[in-house]
Every structure is written in C-alpha cells, then in structure tokens.
Amino acid sequence: LFSAVPAAPPDPILSITAAFRADPSPKKVNLGVGAYRTDDGLPYVLPIVRQYERHFANDHSLNHEYLPQDGLTHFTVHSARLMFGKHSAPLNDNRVVTVQALSGTGALRIGFAFIATFLGQRLVYVPNPTWSNHRNVVPHAGLPPTRTYRYFDAATCAVDIDGLLADLKAAVPGSIVIFHGCAHNPTGADPSREQWKQILQVVKEAALVPFFDNAYQGFASGDLDTDAWSTRLFADSGIEMFVAQSYAKNMGMYGERVGALNVVLSSSSSVDIVRGQLKRLIRATYSSPPLHGARIAAAIMSDEHAFRSWQTELRTMSERIRNMRTRLRDCLVANGAPGNWDHIVKQIGMFSFTGLNAEQVRFIRSKYHVYMTLNGRISMAGLTEATVQYVADAICDAVKS
C-alpha cells in the first residue's frame, strides 16, 4: 500500500533545527529557525504571558470547551483592531471578517483554500525570494504553483522597486500577490513608505488582490503601529484583501499556534456569507482552533496595563536583535572579513540575509557547527554576546576560503 509513496523533500528551515539537535558538538550555534532567544541562548516566555498562564490556571470558572470554528470572539475582535488600528475605515464600516487561525501558516492555508474554492484558479505571486513555506502552502491549498515578482537587489541589498513594480504591472489581472507586511523574510529589506504607496497604485491599476502576511507586527521596529503601516495603507484605500496575523514572534507563543485570518471586503453585505464559508472550511480542516493561547493573547490585548507591558517587551526584544546586528557587523569588520557588511545593520526584523552562498553555509556548518538556511539567512535572535565573535570568525573563514 505505501511502497509507492515518494519521500518528502526536507523542509528548508525546519530540517536545520533537526540537524542542529542531532549535532553533539558543544560549540554548535543555531541561526536557522526564526525563534527569539535570550542573550543566554534560551527560549523566552514573556513575563506577561506567564502571568496570565498562572491567572488562568487558578481560575476554576474556566473550562476547556470547544471554541466555535472561527475562534474566540474576544481574541478576533482585538486582533483585528491591533492589525487595522483604532481609526480603520473597513473595521468601522463592519466589512472585515476575522477568524482565528493556527498562527500565520494556518491563516495563509485557510485563506488560500477559500480563494481556491470560491475565487477560482487564480495565480499567486510571491516575492523573490520569500519565506519557503509560501511556495508550499499555495499549491497545497489547491492553487497553481506560485509565480514570483522581483523583490531584492543583491547589489544594493535593498528592495528592487523598479523590478517589483514592473513585474506587478505585468501580472495577470485578478491574481493574488503576497506581501510581507514588515520585516521581509528572508531579506530583512522592506519598501519605504513612499514605495508602498507606489506599490498600492500599481496593485489597484493592475487589479491585483493583496494577501498580506504580517508575522512580525511589533517585533520588527518594536512598535505595533509602525509595523502595521503598510497593511493599513492598503486596507484604508478601499481595496479588498487578505491579511494573515501571527502571535508566534511578537508574543513568543510559537507552539501555541495563535493567529488570525482577516478578509477585508468592499461591503458589509458579504460579511456573513464569507464568515460562514470560512467556518465551513475550518470545520472540514481541523474543526475549531485551540483555546489556550488565544485566551492569553486576548487578555493581553484587552487590558491597558498588560498591553503596555507587552509593548515594553517588544522594544526589549527588537533592541536586542538590533544590538546583535551591530555586534556582528563590527566583529566582521574587525576580523577583516572581505566585503561590506553594512547591510546587516540596515536590515530589519528577525533575519539577516548575509550574502553567503550555499557552499559557504555548508562549510560553516561542517567546520564550526553553526547552522543557518542554505540561502545564507541567519536568525539574528539566535546570536548572543557569547557566540557573536565565534560566528563572525566562522563567516570570515568561509568568505576568505
């Protein structure tokens, strides 16, 4: 029965974690998966999350009943407000459908399943490069394999805005376009606000449908509103669009799978229909989402004091990452590593797109036990004061070899 099942290719990101775990070397450093670590290299549970965990554990009026298919209303209402802002036109017009999702990936998967089921076989354009799972999720949801639009200029380590606009202008009308709302993964290069306005213009002229993947709100700049700016620009412009949200990085609840899918409609008359079909898709896929993490996220977002404490944590986490950028760049320069390393400090978010090629990445892994994805992306949050010099030595050796 199973002999004809082909082996699955290894996941470009998660297979790095598995290889790292299997490596017995005491010197090993994991810069693969995007997960925040303290300066001791340990996973971090936000104190405000701990506080609510204790609070809920002691509240015996709570139970573990099923949520409805679209999740915890207290969570989805606050999640949409966080994403679209206090003065959001579509929210105030009651034309946003928000359903709880299994973090960002779950939001994308249900969103694309909805598109495949009700909006036809549309093409989906992703930036080149993009988070590897985008290319996975889209065909898995029943749509054609993704196409790419130009995004990154390796020579300037910045957004190739001319290439991007030209490719979107040439895209098949009605296609879906994935945008990273902030902290583009893997490049760490985001369009400027002026460039986002140009992109919006082209999206409108070319009749494209944006699907924002906003997995790093508050984590990129340390400010929740700043990191929502591009998504809000599009949502307030009156177009219809999709937005995926994740609370993995910004609340550190990676394994709890807390997220949301938002569908922005042109009119409130379709809200019930779209919500009903999303609920049906969710029911067929996993019935209903988990309660624990959503309950914590909702509590944090709805209490003023807790919200402020969360904002402080976001600033602390993003500052540690920025500090690691400076430290790594400085160590590379002090080491005399050939080339210019300023892009490491210019990039934003969890990752740095170092410019290392696959051969150099393999060299660093086998000689130094430092793990990163083959495209040369490193998770800055995996670096610590204790490891940054070692990693800089490894990179320097690879570049000089």
Catalytic residue positions, numbered: 131, 213, 249
Among 29, 31, 33, 381, binds ligand LMR (CB under 6 A): 33
How far is the first Cα of the chain from the last one, in angstroms, to the nearest whole number? Answer: 49
| Residues linked to residue 241 through DSSP beta bridges, in sequence order | 264
Query: How far is C-alpha 379 from the chain's CA centre?
Result: 13
Q: How far apart are CA 239 and CA 310, in angstroms?
A: 31
DSSP class of residue 146 equals P
Q: What span, in angstroms and rounded, lies between the C-alpha atoms of 87 and 244?
A: 20
CA distance 353 to 346: 11
250: burial class by Cβ within 10 Å (0-12, 13-18, 19+)?
buried
In the structure encoding, which two tokens stand for residue 135, read together?
A: 């290319």
Q: Using alpha carbons only, how large is the chain's radius of gyration in Å?
A: 21
Q: Which CB atom, from 299 or from 380, has the smaller least distance to ligand LMR?
A: 380
- Burial class (CB within 10 angstroms; exposed 0-12, middle 13-18, buried 19+) of 386: exposed
Do the beta carbons of residue 171 and residue 207 sit within 8 Å?
no
Assigned token pair, 206: 């070319």
In the complex, least distance from residue 208 CB atom to ligand LMR, rounded to whole angstroms: 24
Minimum Å gap between C-beta 349 and ligand LMR is: 10
Residue 253 makes contact with ligand LMR by CB under 6 A: no
Q: Which is nearer to ligand LMR, 90 or 106 (CB)?
A: 106
Q: How many residues does the chain have?
A: 401
**What letter does residue 130 receive in the DSSP assignment?**
-
Q: Does 185 sit near ligand LMR (CB under 6 A)?
A: yes
Is 131 near ligand LMR (CB under 6 A)?
yes
Examine residue 217 and tell whether it contacts ligand LMR (CB under 6 A): no
Output 230 or 373, the one with its CB closest to ligand LMR.
373
Which of residues 33 and 83 has its CB atom nearest to ligand LMR in the complex? 33
Residue closer to ligand LMR by CB (options 68, 129) is: 129
Q: Residues 6 or more apart from 260 whose CB is under 8 A from it? A: 71, 75, 76, 79, 80, 83, 98, 99, 100, 101, 107, 244, 245
Strand 176-180 to 124-128 pairing? parallel
Please tell me whether residue 138 binds ligand LMR under the rule CB under 6 A: no
Instruction: Report how far residue 106's alpha carbon sits from residue 103's, in angstroms, rounded to the nearest whole number.
Output: 5
Binding-residue total with ligand LMR (CB under 6 A): 6
User: CB-wise, 75 or 131, nearer to ligand LMR?
Assistant: 131
Q: Please, how many CA atoms are within 13 Å of residue 195, restricted to the half-sphere of its CB? A: 15
Under rule CB under 6 A, residue 52 binds ligand LMR: no
User: Applying CB under 6 A, does 188 fall inside the site for ligand LMR?
Assistant: no
Q: Please state, in angstroms and rounded to a whole number, the distance separating the CA atoms of residues 246 and 257.
A: 8
245 binds ligand LMR (CB under 6 A): no
Decide if residue 294 touches ligand LMR (CB under 6 A).
no
CB of 180 to ligand LMR, least distance (A): 11
152 binds ligand LMR (CB under 6 A): no
Residue number with the smallest Cβ distance to ligand LMR: 34
- Does 353 help bind ligand LMR (rule: CB under 6 A)? no
The yes or no reply on residue 16 touching ligand LMR (CB under 6 A) is: no
CB of 61 to ligand LMR, least distance (A): 35
Q: Is 13 in the site for ligand LMR (CB under 6 A)?
A: yes
Residue for token digits 């001791």? 40
Residue 207: left (phi > 0), alpha (psi -120 to 50), or beta? left
Contact 234, 241 (CB under 8 A): yes
Q: Pick between residue 103 and residue 231 the one whose CB is nearest to ligand LMR.
A: 103
**Binding pattern to ligand LMR, positions 299-328, x when CB under 6 A?**
------------------------------
Which residue in the set 29, 30, 31, 34 belongs to the binding site for ligand LMR (CB under 6 A)? 34
CB of 132 to ligand LMR, least distance (A): 7
Task: Report the nearest approach of ligand LMR to the CB of residue 400 (Å).
Answer: 28
CB of 13 to ligand LMR, least distance (A): 4
Instruction: Write down the least CB distance from residue 185 to ligand LMR, Å.
Output: 5
Q: Which is nearer to ligand LMR, 133 or 387 (CB)?
A: 133
Q: Which residues bind ligand LMR (CB under 6 A)?
A: 13, 33-34, 131, 133, 185
